[in-house]
Amino acid sequence: MQAVDDLQSGATGHLRLCANPSAFGGFLPSVLAEYARRYPHVVIDMEDALSEDGIRAVLKGTAELAVIGDNVPHEGLETIVCNVDQLVLLVPAGHALDSRQNASLADVLDHDLVTLARSASLTRKVMAAADAVKRTPRIRVQVRSFDSMCRMVSFGLGLAILPRAAAALYAQALGLVQVGLEGIEMERVLLLAMRSRPELSAPAAALVEMIESTAAFSGARHSPKPAG
């Protein structure tokens, strides 16, 4: 694409992107660091937003791209898979579950939980798993970021389910313990959503191309554009 080549030659541009907490706590910072290295003259305008808010921003045109959970309705948008991670349980050291290699969903649901807002795609996933076994999660604290979730866990206010990449970072920093999960769909899939790929600006198209060409995503599946 000529416009993308122009960016590499020093042309300026503006990348408008929304991303959910799973993206910020996982793969996205390293991707954007590489993007900034390749395209140093592009201004990156990025917002930390729940998946639903990111979708609304793309539909309104206030953002060109949004990283969202795959379990949030995104009718009318084109998507590609941009990251796949595994969910784990994060518990404080000394907790009854900290010595287990894996904990069942039933065991987890016997304890208080710290989650993102109920509308967040990750919380939706936990709620759906609990509903499948006819249980109601004991959500004690709802926060807006993984950082806040993990700090609450470190003070014993509940347990948290989050992607492995983010869990590893906070476990080391806060002295928490990662425990595997059973009885819940472990795969956490993130999508990069856009209104129409042919209409993307050069900066947005460059990010899409970079994600698609990354070896880690070489086997990622594409989601067709929904009707309507």
- Residue 46: CATH number of its domain: 3.40.190.10
Q: What does the pLDDT look like over 109-137, one tens digit per residue?
A: 999 999 999 999 999 999 999 999 999 99
Q: Which residues pair with 18 in a beta bridge?
A: 47, 66
In a domain? residue 126: yes
Same domain, yes or no, for 194 and 208? yes
Q: Is 107 helix (H, G, I), strand (E, B) or coil?
A: helix
In a domain? residue 228: no
User: Position of tokens 């709802």?
Assistant: 142
Same domain, yes or no, for 182 and 205? no
Residue 217 pLDDT > 60:
no
Q: Give the model's pLDDT for residue 224.
A: 44
Mean pLDDT lowest among 47-56, 90-99, 163-172, 216-225 = 216-225
Is residue 79 within 8 A of residue 223, CB to CB? The reply is: yes
Same domain, yes or no, for 117 and 175? yes
Q: Give the model's pLDDT for residue 12.
A: 80
Q: Give the model's pLDDT for residue 6.
A: 66
Same domain, yes or no, for 97 and 151? yes
Distances (CA, A) of 215 to 6, 30, 141, 220: 24, 14, 38, 10
Look at the chain and report how many structural domains it folds into. 2
Same domain, yes or no, for 135 and 202? no
Q: Which residue has the higher pLDDT, 59 or 219?
A: 59
Same domain, yes or no, for 141 and 61? no
Mean pLDDT over 139-152 rounds to 96
Mean pLDDT over 18-43 rounds to 94
Q: Which residues pair with 219 in a beta bridge?
A: none
Q: Give the model's pLDDT for residue 11.
A: 67
What's phi and psi for 215, nearest 5 deg?
Answer: -60, -35
Same domain, yes or no, for 94 and 108? yes
Separation between Cα atoms, residue 199 and residue 173, nearest integer Å: 42
Q: Give the model's pLDDT for residue 1.
A: 57
**Domain span at 152:** 85-187
Q: Give the model's pLDDT for residue 2.
A: 55
Q: Is 111 helix (H, G, I), strand (E, B) or coil?
A: coil
In a domain? residue 173: yes
